[in-house]
Chain A
Amino acid sequence: MDVVIWSRIQFAMTAAYHWLFVPLTLGLALVMAVMETLYVVKKDEFWKKTAQFWIKLFAINFAVGIATGIILEFEFGTNWSNYSWFVGDMFGAPLAIEGILAFFMEATFFAVMFFGWDKVSKRFHLASTWLTGIGATVSAYWILVANGWMQNPVGTTFNPDTVRSEMASAAAFWEVVTNPVAVSKFFHSVTSGWVTGGVFVVGVSAWYLLKGREKKFALRSILIGGIVGLVGSAAVMISGDASGVHAAEFQPMKLAAAEGLEEGGKGAAFTIVPGVKVPHMLSLLATHDWNGYVPGINDILRGYTDNEGRVIPSVADKMAMGRTALDALETYRGSEDPAVKAEALALLNANVQYMGYGHLEKPEDVIPPVGVVFWAFRLMVGLGMLLALVLLLCVWFAWKGKLENCRWLLWTALWCIPLVYICGQAGWVVAEVGRQPWTIQGLLPVNVAISSLSAAAVKTTFFIFLAVFALFLIIEIRILLRAIRKGPEVEPGNA
């Protein structure tokens, strides 16, 4: 395998691993902040102990999240050299804002939250707990502004003198910051974190109930965790719907792959599983129009007319225009003659939106791995609905005071913990595998985004990271399990 494949595998592994820790950070932060607020408002030591227990688990999880976040940042440079030059100018502002506004907030107030119980006032401590979670959430926003731009590169223009995408005006910056793909991705990712946090709290508490331990603690935690998870589930569905519409608009190939849709059309049917279809459903979901046109994979290859009447060229034509753009860039940079330069520049600007296609070898290169995206999408949606149902039942039975005796539901809630992680990972597979071969949609395919390294070097670091990640994951799970077994110790004699 070549360096492009190894670089992709390494980055995918790091990102997927990072996403094991981030959603729990986002979700648990909200759960424990709510609990500590109850402590400060009600002045009941029970809530303090309860919050402290979840904060302890949060801290174990937080460390690995931080450790893997920096790996992603470094890998942009180490493994995606061309990419980091190409996007550096656009990433600059969001990254600066993230670093200054969010990172330090998270790190500073995490330290106060973890060590400060006996050192700072109750209210300062409560504020620190909230600010840790807010810092993590704000950080997620700016990261997803960058990611959203890669899926839908708005607000920038290609500068042939510097050979990169650049922002040129406040309006452009605003377009980048309010990129609809970034906004829906932010809500979708953060609220899926709430679901993760909710399912985790409910699942762990269910285990205590199964063991007949920590009853008050477990039931109260299930109510709060469950409600946070349910609010998250509702928001995930709304933002997921927006994500679908955006995919149809900006990344039709991703949508076609997620549906396994070879031939599209008006009033397209939604495939639940192969062989089971709901008529018109896909058009409704993707365009919010019963008879909206949804292009299939072959339509995109051949070229089509979209719902606004725009003619979308075939991939072969886009490739030809892309090559024209690249040739014009070469002429522009190679010539000193102003007339030649001006002509090359005009040609470049006329074709620049398809520049990335000029790097492709054949039209079929634009098709992502359909099977992977198709099944990942079904896994994500199916599990998401199951998790929402389980959360709803847990909250309902806990509210009615019948949850303790409902052992099947407690077992189900416990088993939902691995499922919520699979669900989140599947979501990112849809988002990131679905946009292959592009690092930046239409502008920069993966094979041009890399660093000039040997495959052997990247392979070596891949296996080093694999070993480190596996080690940390095993340690993390062992430590978490021990902390859970030990319990919150809020009810002496009950443990």
Chain B
Amino acid sequence: MTYEFLQQYWWCLVALLGGLLVALMFVQGANGHLGNRVLNESQKRMILNSTGRKWEFTFTTLVTFGGAFFASFPLFYSTSFGGAYWVWILLLLSFVFQAVAYEFQNKKGNLLGVKGFRVALMVNGVLAPFLVGTAVGTFFTGSDFTVNKLAITDPSSPVISSWGNGWHGLEALGNYHAVLLGAALAFLAIILGALYILNNVEDAGIEAQMRRCIKKAIGPFLLSFLMWTIILMLRSGFAVSPEQVIYMEPFKYWHNLLAMPGVLVMLLAGVVLLLCSLYLGGFTASRKGIWFAMPGTVLVVMAVFFLAGFNGTAYYPSCTDLQSSLTLQNSSSSQFTLTVMFWVSLLIPFVLAYIVYAWRAMDRKSITREEIETTEHKY
């Protein structure tokens, strides 16, 4: 296996994990619905118990996504995490509260009360997809950092990757193009959450509300995603020459799309699947929208990652110093490590198989009011 093949293979896997992470953010989106005033307490408990049996998949996928990025492209990990400090810390905190909120919220003596933990779940529900979207948005807008590997020999300032401003990542919130992707992801999560609840919970009142929410979210989601895509196609991108010199190329991402018809097909297929799910969820009585929305989301996110990293593109560009930009070549682990990880990754289908098996065993029945009222094992 050539080094180049392995780097691309691992970029595909990082993209896949990113896609799965966003698709699994139906948990976040569903928790966002806990703020819906039309829903009564027992309906909220049903939603909570429904996402409560899935949140660990999202959380574990986040951990694995981080781990895979660390393992295969460590320079991204050291540059982005150490640089865009506040963005990652905020994301982290929102997930940390989410992780304990299920177990703690309905227990007596939890200090913050049911309300406190619900607020934490809702904050995570909105903030997590928004921040992840904005962070991925900077893959196309560039960030303010420099990379100098020789710095390690300088005792007075030994850090290889340094960020150019004191906002440490929060400055991305002032970048409308990156924020548009954050907004699109936040609306997408709300839709995914509603579609998931439709499928997993049996309650007429909840169903009506979820369909209403989907209808309301369609407009803002499509608008923000479409605007982000159009701007992306029009903007200059960070191209890498065969000599590994990075330069600005007008319409770079449009060129990428034309040069990689497979990616174009993925993007279109993903969008079509998403549109189908929106139609099923918003305008029919079907409960199966989520089965279109999740693969659709995975395809779209993977296409976005491919546009960022393939066809001679710097996926984590620096606008301060173009040559500091991260490419698949200059930021990856060694050929040997990528090879070992390649063999390990062949186990993924086996892992997916047992997850699906366990998930189906647990989901044979939809969550109903009776179950939540009678079972002891609930949140």
Is B162 interfacial (CB 8 A cutoff)? Answer: yes
Measured CB to CB, the closest approach of chain B to A160, in angstroms, equals: 9
Complex-state Cα separation, A167 to B337, whole angstroms: 7
Is A453 interfacial (CB 8 A cutoff)? Answer: yes
Which residues from chain B contact A68 at a C-beta distance below 8 Å? 96
A-binding segment of B65-73, B214-222, B292-300: B65-73
Complex-state Cα separation, A63 to B95, whole angstroms: 12
Q: Which of B64, B89, B336, B362 contacts A103 (CB 8 A)?
A: B64
Is A76 interfacial (CB 8 A cutoff)? Answer: yes
Contact at A448–B158, with CB atoms within 8 Å?
Answer: yes
Is B254 interfacial (CB 8 A cutoff)? Answer: no
Complex-state Cα separation, A396 to B317, whole angstroms: 66
Is B231 interfacial (CB 8 A cutoff)? Answer: no
Measured CB to CB, the closest approach of chain A to B272, in angstroms, equals: 30
Is B36 interfacial (CB 8 A cutoff)? Answer: no
A-binding segment of B54-62, B262-270, B280-288: B54-62
Which residues from chain A contact B174 at a C-beta distance below 8 Å? none
Contact at A82–B74, with CB atoms within 8 Å?
Answer: no
Contact at A92–B361, with CB atoms within 8 Å?
Answer: no
Q: Which of A315-332 contact B (CB under 8 A)?
A: 326-327, 329-330
A-binding segment of B104-112, B205-213, B306-314: B104-112
Measured CB to CB, the closest approach of chain B to A443, in angstroms, equals: 11
Measured CB to CB, the closest approach of chain A to B232, in angstroms, equals: 27
Q: Which of A59, A114, A329, A451 contacts B153 (CB 8 A)?
A: A329
Which residues from chain A contact B333 at a C-beta distance below 8 Å? 88-89, 92
A275-295 near B? 1/0 per residue, CB < 8 Å: 000000000000000000000
Measured CB to CB, the closest approach of chain A to B42, in angstroms, equals: 18
A-binding segment of B79-87, B181-189, B238-246: B79-87
Which residues from chain B contact A128 at a C-beta distance below 8 Å? 358
B83-103 near A? 1/0 per residue, CB < 8 Å: 101101100110111011011
Contact at A479–B109, with CB atoms within 8 Å?
Answer: yes
Contact at A82–B159, with CB atoms within 8 Å?
Answer: yes
Is B377 interfacial (CB 8 A cutoff)? Answer: yes
Q: Which residue of B lies closest to A79 (CB)?
A: B82
Complex-state Cα separation, A108 to B161, whole angstroms: 37
Is B320 interfacial (CB 8 A cutoff)? Answer: no
A82-B85 in contact given A88-B78, A103-B64, A108-B354 (Cβ < 8 Å): no
Most chain B CB atoms below 10 A, which of A86, A104, A359, A454: A104
Contact at A101–B347, with CB atoms within 8 Å?
Answer: yes
Complex-state Cα separation, A124 to B82, whole angstroms: 43
B-binding segment of A204-212, A403-411, A464-472: A464-472
Which residues from chain B contact A82 at a C-beta distance below 8 Å? 78, 152, 158-160
A77-B78 in contact given A93-B341, A111-B53, A330-B153 (Cβ < 8 Å): yes
Q: Which of B60, B108, B377 contacts A117 (CB 8 A)?
A: B377
Interface Cβ pair total, 8 Å cutoff: 278
Q: Which residue of B lies closest to A64 (CB)?
A: B100
Most chain A CB atoms below 10 A, which of B66, B88, B100: B100
A78-B345 in contact given A63-B104, A84-B78, A104-B60 (Cβ < 8 Å): no
Is B340 interfacial (CB 8 A cutoff)? Answer: yes
Which residues from chain B contact A350 at a C-beta distance below 8 Å? none
Complex-state Cα separation, A85 to B77, whole angstroms: 8
Chain A's interface: helix, strand, loop or mixed, by majority? helix
Is A346 interfacial (CB 8 A cutoff)? Answer: no
Is B38 interfacial (CB 8 A cutoff)? Answer: no
A101-117 near B? 1/0 per residue, CB < 8 Å: 10111111111101111
Contact at B111–A475, with CB atoms within 8 Å?
Answer: yes
Q: Which of B68, B92, B111, B378 contacts A70 (CB 8 A)?
A: B92
Q: Which of A81-97 contact B (CB under 8 A)?
A: 81-93, 95-97
Measured CB to CB, the closest approach of chain A to B79, in angstroms, equals: 7
Is A313 interfacial (CB 8 A cutoff)? Answer: no
Contact at B82–A84, with CB atoms within 8 Å?
Answer: yes
Contact at A453–B85, with CB atoms within 8 Å?
Answer: yes
Q: Which residue of A lies closest to B346 (CB)?
A: A100
Complex-state Cα separation, A482 to B108, whole angstroms: 8
Which residues from chain B contact A87 at a C-beta distance below 8 Å? 74
Contact at B88–A89, with CB atoms within 8 Å?
Answer: no
Q: Which of B103, B111, B375 contacts A471 (CB 8 A)?
A: B111
Contact at B168–A457, with CB atoms within 8 Å?
Answer: yes
Contact at B157–A452, with CB atoms within 8 Å?
Answer: yes
Measured CB to CB, the closest approach of chain A to B132, in angstroms, equals: 13
Measured CB to CB, the closest approach of chain B to A102, in angstroms, equals: 10
Complex-state Cα separation, A89 to B86, whole angstroms: 25
Is A41 interfacial (CB 8 A cutoff)? Answer: no
Measured CB to CB, the closest approach of chain A to B352, in angstroms, equals: 9
A112-B361 in contact given A63-B100, A79-B82 (Cβ < 8 Å): yes
Which residues from chain A contact B54 at a C-beta distance below 8 Å? 111
Contact at A77–B63, with CB atoms within 8 Å?
Answer: no
Contact at A104–B351, with CB atoms within 8 Å?
Answer: yes
Is B204 interfacial (CB 8 A cutoff)? Answer: no
Is A461 interfacial (CB 8 A cutoff)? Answer: yes
Complex-state Cα separation, A207 to B138, whole angstroms: 56
Q: Which of B82, B96, B102, B365 contacts A78 (CB 8 A)?
A: B82
A119-B104 in contact given A475-B110, A478-B109 (Cβ < 8 Å): no
Which residues from chain A contact B362 at a C-beta distance below 8 Å? 111-112, 115-116, 119-120
Complex-state Cα separation, A267 to B332, whole angstroms: 49
Measured CB to CB, the closest approach of chain B to A43, in angstroms, equals: 21
Which residues from chain A contact B56 at a C-beta distance below 8 Å? 66, 107-108, 110-111
Measured CB to CB, the closest approach of chain B to A49, in angstroms, equals: 11
Is A494 interfacial (CB 8 A cutoff)? Answer: no
Is B1 interfacial (CB 8 A cutoff)? Answer: no
Is B261 interfacial (CB 8 A cutoff)? Answer: no
Measured CB to CB, the closest approach of chain B to A452, in angstroms, equals: 4
Contact at B336–A168, with CB atoms within 8 Å?
Answer: yes
Which residues from chain A contact B162 at a C-beta distance below 8 Å? 452
A155-169 near B? 1/0 per residue, CB < 8 Å: 000010011101111
Given contacts A64-B99, A452-B157, 14 further A-B contacts (CB under 8 A): A70-B92, A70-B96, A70-B99, A71-B96, A73-B63, A74-B81, A77-B66, A88-B70, A101-B344, A105-B351, A120-B361, A128-B358, A163-B150, A479-B110
Q: List 15 A-B contacts (CB under 8 A).
A: A62-B103, A63-B100, A64-B100, A71-B92, A81-B79, A81-B83, A89-B334, A96-B71, A100-B348, A107-B57, A119-B362, A168-B334, A452-B161, A474-B111, A482-B109
- A contact set with B: CB distance below 8 Å: 59-60, 62-64, 66-71, 73-74, 76-93, 95-101, 103-112, 114-120, 124, 128, 159, 162-164, 166-169, 172-173, 326-327, 329-330, 333-334, 359, 447-448, 450-454, 457, 461, 464, 468, 471-472, 474-475, 478-479, 481-483
